[in-house]
Amino acid sequence: MNQPVYIVGAGPGDPDLITVKGHNLLAQADVVVYANSLIPDIMLKVCRSDAEIIPTASKTLDQIVEILIERSHSQKLVVRLHDGDPSLYGAIHEQIIALAAADIPVEIIPGVSAFQLAAARLQVELTIPELVQTIILTRISGRTHVPKSEDLASLAAHQASLCLYLSARHVVEAQAKLLEYYPSDTPVAICFRLGWQDEKILTVPLSQMAEVTKSENLTRTTLYLISPALRNRLNLNSERSQLYNTSHNHLFRPFI
């Protein structure tokens, strides 16, 4: 029986934002294969001093998979550490398939995605009743092609809380597509390296999204949060959830 490979979500960069299970696996691992371009080294401070630490920024997927398979065959406890949550833009699909073909079981430990830390930092609910009830996680087409049916302009038509990953290099095009449906004064939080030492969050009107991104030179590790909910930050007169309304009874509070 081959040793499982643990695909662990590291969270956005703050070492306190990994799950307990992910932390424990990282602390026990014989081998940690990690995406060093997106995960700060501080995340590895819990690793054993004799653990084999393998950065992957300069490796191909085939090389990474080969390492995972070889170390698993050697009965090592292998952690494949991905930034944020592995299910989002983590290219884990290809790794899972290759590991399954090699008869190696996989366990995935979820992580906090960048959009969740963005909402926490901004102290905002992305699903304010009557205002917005849908969150879209997407990216613009780049080297990775986005299916036509998910074109950014068509998603913008929903005017939902939209979390835009992997798009800073194409921000002019992204802004133009968003402006087809969102009002130009819709707030956009430009979130650079959330959870890292040099984290920066700038909230601007949609019409300035590209200009500010460029003037701040934000090309990598930037998430955009476009949402009508950002207008309501600290507005105490804004819509209240029916869940806490005294006239709204439910299973756990039937008789108010």
Given candidates 33, 67, 90, 159, which one binds ligand SAM under the rule CB under 6 A? 90
- With contact defined as beta carbons under 8 Å apart, do 118 and 191 qualify? yes
Choice from 88, 128, 188, 225 touching ligand SAM (CB under 6 A): 88
Residue from 223, 225, 226, 230 that binds ligand SAM (CB under 6 A)? 223
- The radius of gyration of the chain from alpha carbons, rounded to an integer in Å, stands at 21
Query: Shortest approach of ligand SAM to residue 97 CB, angstroms?
Result: 18
In the bound state with ligand SAM, the residue whose beta carbon lies nearer, of 25 and 112, is 112
Q: Which of 56, 72, 95, 113 binds ligand SAM (CB under 6 A)?
A: 113
69 backbone dihedrals φ, ψ, rounded to 5°: -65, -45
How many Å apart are CA 64 and CA 73, to the nearest integer? 14
Q: Per rule CB under 6 A, is residue 195 in the interface with ligand SAM?
A: yes
User: Least distance in Å: CB of 18 to ligand SAM?
Assistant: 12
175, 222, 227, 232: residue in contact with ligand SAM (rule CB under 6 A): 222
Closest to 182 measured CA to CA, from 202, 208, 148: 208
Among 71, 80, 177, 193, binds ligand SAM (CB under 6 A): 193
Nearer to ligand SAM, 72 or 213 (CB): 213
Residue 94 C-beta: closest distance to ligand SAM, Å: 13
Of 141, 171, 168, residue with least CA distance to 154: 141
| Helices marked H in the chain | 20-28, 61-73, 92-101, 114-122, 152-156, 171-179, 209-215
Contact between 40 and ligand SAM by CB under 6 A: the answer reads: no
Q: Residues 48-77 vs ligand SAM: string with x where CB under 6 A?
A: ------------------------------
In the numeric block, the tokens 């399954």 are attached to 100
90-93: long-range contacts, CB 8 A cutoff, minimum separation 24:
90/7, 91/61, 92/7
Amino acid at 94: E
Which of 70, 13, 76 has the alpha carbon at shortest distance from 44? 13
- For 245, the token pair is 């309304």
Of the residues 31, 178, 191, 209, which one makes contact with ligand SAM according to CB under 6 A: 191
Of 72, 221, 227, 232, the one binding ligand SAM (CB under 6 A) is 221
Binding stretches for ligand SAM (CB under 6 A): 12-13, 38, 82-85, 88-90, 113-114, 165-166, 191, 193-195, 221-223
